[in-house]
Structure 1
Amino acid sequence: MAVDTIILGALYLFVQLFANKIISSNSIGRFKWLSFSGGVAVSYVFVYVLPSLHKEQDSISQGSELTMESELYILGLGGLLIFYGVHKAAERASRKHEKGEGSFFWIQIAFFVVYNMLIAYNIFASDIEGIEAVFYGIAVGLHFMAVSHDMWREDAARYEKLGRYLLAAGILLGWVIGVFAPMPSYMLGVVFAFISGAMIMNVLKKELPSEENAHFRTFLGGALGYTVLTIAMTLFFDW
């Protein structure tokens, strides 16, 4: 197992288990953390996820005369719609229960266990390695942190007691499968497409800071800084 794989896996597990310890308890600090994370996440979607999805679709289209040239985009749309549906159901459930989402909290946790597993699998089963893997992996780590914080806000007691461990187990499972049982490249493209749609929804719905919680300069710095670094690293290392 490569050193970068071990570092990323350990980083993701640490972030998932201790996200709310990492994010400052001070409200200004917390808003800056989430604004910066949201900026990096938005940049990651536009400068990495969408171009990568386009490349995957091109490779499938060139390998077969039967493709519609949009299969992966449709899968991405499916991922977005499914996770958006889960989010809206969670909102309705929270309005019906005085103490949060009731039993639906665990259904939402189950979906995010699968979400974490697929993201981790996609990262560790891909051929990205070395500095590139660590660089893009940092953006995913910040995304995990933001999602974890959002789940904690919805039901802190149940998240702290069991939820965070289940989400970490999803990452661990994806890590193990990605390293020891990777799928063929075309299946990896399918997984990437589905999870890309879900990630785009989560980034736009959960990570773009609301007006009252936003720290715009930090958000802008995260977005522009990560974009510039991505372009520079791509040119320098010829990724």
Structure 2
Amino acid sequence: MTIDAVLLVLVYLTVQLLANKIISSSTIGRFKWLSFSGGVAVSYVFVYILPSMHREQEGLSQDAALTMESELYVLGLFGLLIFYGVHKAADRASRQYEHGEGPFFWIQMVFFSIYNMLISYIVFASDIEGVQAVFYGLAVGLHFMAVAHDLWREDSQRYESLGRYILAVGIIIGWVVGVFAPLANNTLAIVFAFISGAMILNVLKKEIPNEENAHFPTFLVGSLGYAFITLTLKYFFNW
């Protein structure tokens, strides 16, 4: 276990447990916080997730048994569709109950706990480490913050009382498995593809602010700034 892994899991847990307090107490303002986070998340999708999925697919395609050359992209599609179904069910539940989503809220917490677990596992089981791991990991931390804040808005009382702890447990499980019992590379690629599809959906659905809540200059700073720094570091350090 490396020090960067310990620091990252502590950051993730802090974000997950205190996301709303961090955002609401910041002098930056909620709209700017979420716009910046959304910008970084969108950039992260294009400069890290999609290129990484392409590399993983190229590695799998060397196996003679895999001839589609798009297996991981199909798994990513499944991940997107499954979590899209969860979002639609949550919307339907919120219309059926006067306050919140009724018992479906807890089903959504379980799904997002699994979501957190798989993302956390990918971060800690991958072979990147040091400054590179922290740099990419912080983008994931901002993503956790935005998703946590969105779930808090849906049902703040139940989220504060228990929901955030359920999500934090998912992060801890992913960290433990990723650090102490990582799976084989092909299995890691499958998990990465599936959760990447779900993450792309959540970034586009939950993190790109709507016109009423957006602060476009901050969104641009987050997206273009993160992309520029990432490409610069890749160029100089061959990430």
Q: In the aligned structure 2, how far is the partner of 1:27 from the partner of 1:2?
A: 33
Following superposition, which runs of at least 4 residues in structure 1 exceed 2 angstroms of deviation?
24-28, 63-67
Q: Which runs of 5+ in 1 are unaligned?
A: none
1:49-128 paired onto structure 2 within 5 Å: 49-128=49-128
Contact 2:60/2:66 (8 A) holds in 1:
no
Offset at residue 221 of structure 1 (A): 0.6
Q: In the aligned structure 2, how far is the partner of 1:196 from the partner of 1:116?
A: 12
Aligned to 1:152: 152
Aligned to 2:48: 48
Offset at residue 172 of structure 1 (A): 0.3
Q: In the aligned structure 2, how far is the partner of 1:190 from the partner of 1:66?
A: 13
Corresponding letter in the other structure for 1:87: H
Q: In the aligned structure 1, how far is the partner of 2:219 from the partner of 2:30?
A: 12
Structure-1-length-normalised TM-score: 0.98
Q: In the aligned structure 1, how far is the partner of 2:179 from the partner of 2:238?
A: 25
Aligned to 2:191: 191
- Alignment length, in residue pairs? 239
Corresponding letter in the other structure for 1:134: V
SS in 2 for 1:77: helix
Q: In the aligned structure 2, how far is the partner of 1:96 from the partner of 1:16?
A: 28
Map Cα deviations across residues 152-203 of structure 1 (whole Å, 9 max, x no partner). Answer: 0000000000000000000000000000110000000000000000000000
Percent identity between matched residues is 71
Aligned to 1:208: 208
Map Cα deviations across residues 196-232 of structure 1 (whole Å, 9 max, x no partner). Answer: 0000000000000011000000001100000000001
Map Cα deviations across residues 22-72 of structure 1 (whole Å, 9 max, x no partner). Answer: 102579700000000000000000000000000000000013253210100
Q: CA RMSD in A?
A: 1.2
Corresponding letter in the other structure for 2:51: P
Note closer, same or farther for the CA distance 1:222–1:184 as it changes in structure 2 (3 Å cut).
same
Contact 1:60/1:67 (8 A) holds in 2:
no
Corresponding letter in the other structure for 2:54: H
Q: In the aligned structure 1, how far is the partner of 2:225 from the partner of 2:69?
A: 33
